A and B are shown apart, each in its own frame.
Chain A
Amino acid sequence: MKFLRDTWLVYSRAMKLNIKQPVWLIVMLVQPLYFLVFFAPLLNSFDEVPGGAMPGFENGAMETFVPGLIIMMALFGSTFVGFGLIAELRQGVIERMRVTPVSRVALLIGRTLSTVTTTIVQALILIVLASPIGGLTIYWPGVFLMLGIIVLTSFMLGALSYGVALVLKSEDSLAPTLNTLVQPVMLLSGIMLPMAMAPSWLQNVADFNPFYYAVQAARELFAGNLDSDFVWQAAAILGVLAVLLVAWASRKFARAVA
């Protein structure tokens, strides 16, 4: 009970700060919108090449691209939340809260849940905008299940980012560390172009990337294939990773020495 209340308090404080700075919601939407306007049209003919569609584009070009774009937004939006934490560490905010009886795990989970909330709002805005801009066909039941994948993705990456921020304690080392981590993960997940187009060695490497499953699952759900293997695989892989990363980051929170 106390843990839930603590989590709620930390979450509502973080959300209040988010709402006071709505500009970030927009800033994080700008990048995927650029992709939607300046990159997606290049793919538009991929589902109508002679002989059917390019490999991976069987469900339609936009219906393949937009789910990937949403995972990418969740990826970037969540991976860099650690920056805000470093500023809070420097100002002594984390230290002040660690002296109160508030649960240390709640300090992490509450913040991470606010990241998840922001990501969900961004994803919904993007989907709604993609419909008129890119001519996307929306299958709502699939979209809602896909939000589950987004929640797990955002949750585990938020926890990871906070944990790494607590270890490094400096923006200067956090940025390159996270970039080095996220760039290959993004490229190997088939966000831009489906991995079905990849040579087999690249395909094999991608099999070890949890976000490859996230992107594939998002696409299958978007297309209405709710019983695809990718869906339960993504849920299981991301679920296990989320639990592990939250446990790890919570330990860091309990021991954080500013």
Chain B
Amino acid sequence: MLIETKGLKKTFKSRGKEVEAVRGVDLAVKEGEIFGLLGPNGAGKTTTMRMLSTLIEPSEGRAVVCGSDLASDPAAVRRDIGYVGQEGGTWGEVTARDELIMQGRLYGASKRASAARAETVLESFQLTEFADRNVKTYSGGQKRRLDIALGVMHEPKLLFLDEPTTGLDPQSRAHMWDEVRALRERGTAVFLTTHYLDEADALCDRIAIIDHGEIVAEGTPLSLKKEVSGDVVAVGVGGGADEAKNLLAAKDFVNEIEAGEADPATGVAVLRLYVEDGSAAMPELLRSLDGAGIAAASIELHRPSLDDVFLKQTGRSLREEA
């Protein structure tokens, strides 16, 4: 395990009142995985990440990060982790190369070793071309790549990314996802926070959903969605809707079936089948309909989204929040 936390809490004092930003978080992050902390703004994502990256001290609880105890040996934690904050952390008046070399030296590397490593990192983040230009001339995407390059200069085992794609255009966002996946390929585990459902779903191996400072669900995106409800297969039939309903209801992979009214214009009625695994159920049910001489006019698979997961756990939709 790269991260293991037990009852991690953070209480801030604000104008004499105590605010519980994080109320007892238990998390486990494995080697080489992309782990996402998903939640609305103000849920405690950033506070949790700042505690784990030694920027702020937890009020209560324990955490072991990269084999070192967070409270008793933060210096050891710092050596093994990289961190890229929301603001990034680059300065406009320096060049990427200078700042990368400095970053390497802050981690104890010699000037020469750091310069060689900077060359490699510039290459792998496609920054070589702009390496000797001041950072203020960079585009948003180039700047974001440099932010991450700075975070991995010392080849950390674990990289923290705080909202890595907030404010990026769709193309830069897709590139960023590729960069994060490439980090995983090279063996770096990534712990990221996000309030984007699609990002958590597409990019993360495992996610934890956080709300009001508490983890409300944890697992792979797929398993979380499966927990909420199975898949829904919607089949449109032109005739014999009742016959089809009876036929399919008898199948043991169908948990529930609902028949809609036939469309007066086309005569097509839609049957909604609740099944565990929609992609396995579809060929099976098409065969059954075929065997009974019923023609399917359309077929559609609905998988639950992470928003359904969030909705079930918190009673609110994440989309409304974000």
Partners in one complex: yes
Task: Give A residues with C-beta under 8 Å from B.
Answer: 6, 9, 13, 16-17, 20-21, 88, 90-93, 95-102, 257-258
Task: With CB as the reference atom, state the residue of chain B lying closest to A92.
Answer: B87
Do A257 and B56 touch (CB < 8 A)?
yes
Q: Which 4 A-B pairs rank lowest in CB-CB distance, beginning with the nearest? A: A96-B89, A92-B87, A92-B89, A99-B83
Determine the chain B residues whose CB is within 8 A of the CB of A95 once the complex forms.
Answer: 55, 83, 85, 87, 89
Instruction: Check B62 for interface membership: any CB of A closer than 8 A.
Output: no
Determine how close the nearest CB of chain A comes to the CB of B74; give it in whole angstroms: 9
Determine the chain B residues whose CB is within 8 A of the CB of A257 once the complex forms.
Answer: 50, 55-56
The distance in angstroms between the C-alpha atoms of A257 and B83, with both chains bound, is 15
Known pairs A17-B94, A95-B89, A96-B89; A101 contacts B55 (CB<8 A): no
Determine how close the nearest CB of chain A comes to the CB of B90; give it in whole angstroms: 7
Task: With CB as the reference atom, state the residue of chain B lying closest to A96.
Answer: B89
For chain B, residues 61 to 84, give those with C-beta under 8 angstroms from any C-beta of chain A: 75, 78-79, 81-84
Determine the chain B residues whose CB is within 8 A of the CB of A101 once the complex forms.
Answer: 75, 78-79, 106-108
Instruction: Check B321 for interface membership: any CB of A closer than 8 A.
Output: no
Determine the chain A residues whose CB is within 8 A of the CB of B103 once the complex forms.
Answer: 96, 100
The distance in angstroms between the C-alpha atoms of A88 and B102, with both chains bound, is 16
Known pairs A99-B83, A101-B78; A92 contacts B93 (CB<8 A): no
A9: contacting residue among B50, B98, B102, CB under 8 A: B102
Do A100 and B87 touch (CB < 8 A)?
no
Determine how close the nearest CB of chain B comes to the CB of A228; give it in whole angstroms: 43
Determine the chain A residues whose CB is within 8 A of the CB of B85 once the complex forms.
Answer: 92, 95-96, 258
Do A90 and B87 touch (CB < 8 A)?
yes
Instruction: Check B53 for interface membership: any CB of A closer than 8 A.
Output: yes
Do A9 and B88 touch (CB < 8 A)?
no
The distance in angstroms between the C-alpha atoms of A98 and B54, with both chains bound, is 9
Determine the chain B residues whose CB is within 8 A of the CB of A90 once the complex forms.
Answer: 87
Most chain A CB within a 10 A radius of its CB, from B89, B106, B107: B106
Determine the chain A residues whose CB is within 8 A of the CB of B79 once the complex forms.
Answer: 101
Determine how close the nearest CB of chain B comes to the CB of A8; give it in whole angstroms: 10
Known pairs A98-B55, A101-B75; A92 contacts B106 (CB<8 A): no
Determine the chain B residues whose CB is within 8 A of the CB of A98 once the complex forms.
Answer: 55
Do B150 and A96 touch (CB < 8 A)?
yes
Known pairs A16-B98, A100-B78, A101-B79; A91 contacts B87 (CB<8 A): yes
Determine the chain A residues whose CB is within 8 A of the CB of B86 once the complex forms.
Answer: 92
Task: With CB as the reference atom, state the residue of chain B lying closest to A257.
Answer: B56
The distance in angstroms between the C-alpha atoms of A234 and B54, with both chains bound, is 40
Determine the chain A residues whose CB is within 8 A of the CB of B93 once the complex forms.
Answer: 17, 20-21
Instruction: Check B226 for interface membership: any CB of A closer than 8 A.
Output: no
Do A99 and B55 touch (CB < 8 A)?
yes
The distance in angstroms between the C-alpha atoms of A20 and B91, with both chains bound, is 13
Determine the chain B residues whose CB is within 8 A of the CB of A99 once the complex forms.
Answer: 53-55, 78, 81-83
Instruction: Check B105 for interface membership: any CB of A closer than 8 A.
Output: yes
Determine the chain B residues whose CB is within 8 A of the CB of A258 once the complex forms.
Answer: 85, 87
For chain B, residues 82 to 135, give those with C-beta under 8 angstroms from any C-beta of chain A: 82-94, 98, 102-103, 105-108
Q: Told that A95-B89, A96-B88, A100-B107 touch, could you supply 4 new A-B pairs with CB distance under 8 A?
A: A16-B94, A97-B106, A100-B103, A101-B75
The distance in angstroms between the C-alpha atoms of A88 and B85, with both chains bound, is 13
Most chain B CB within a 10 A radius of its CB, from A13, A88, A90, A101: A101
Known pairs A21-B93, A99-B83, A101-B75; A92 contacts B55 (CB<8 A): no
B89: contacting residue among A6, A9, A16, A91, CB under 8 A: A91
Determine the chain B residues whose CB is within 8 A of the CB of A9 once the complex forms.
Answer: 102, 105-106
Determine the chain A residues whose CB is within 8 A of the CB of B108 once the complex forms.
Answer: 101
Determine the chain B residues whose CB is within 8 A of the CB of A96 once the complex forms.
Answer: 83-85, 88-89, 103, 150
Task: With CB as the reference atom, state the residue of chain B lying closest to A95.
Answer: B85
Determine the chain A residues whose CB is within 8 A of the CB of B94 once the complex forms.
Answer: 13, 16-17
Determine the chain B residues whose CB is within 8 A of the CB of A21 once the complex forms.
Answer: 93
Determine how close the nearest CB of chain A comes to the CB of B170; give it in whole angstroms: 24
Determine how close the nearest CB of chain B comes to the CB of A118; give it in whole angstroms: 15
The distance in angstroms between the C-alpha atoms of A6 and B54, with both chains bound, is 19
Determine how close the nearest CB of chain B comes to the CB of A251; give it in whole angstroms: 14
Determine how close the nearest CB of chain B comes to the CB of A68; give it in whole angstroms: 33
Determine the chain A residues whose CB is within 8 A of the CB of B102 once the complex forms.
Answer: 9, 13
Determine how close the nearest CB of chain B comes to the CB of A19; give it in whole angstroms: 11
The distance in angstroms between the C-alpha atoms of A102 and B75, with both chains bound, is 9
Do A92 and B88 touch (CB < 8 A)?
yes
The distance in angstroms between the C-alpha atoms of A88 and B90, with both chains bound, is 9
The distance in angstroms between the C-alpha atoms of A197 and B181, with both chains bound, is 73
Determine the chain A residues whose CB is within 8 A of the CB of B82 once the complex forms.
Answer: 99
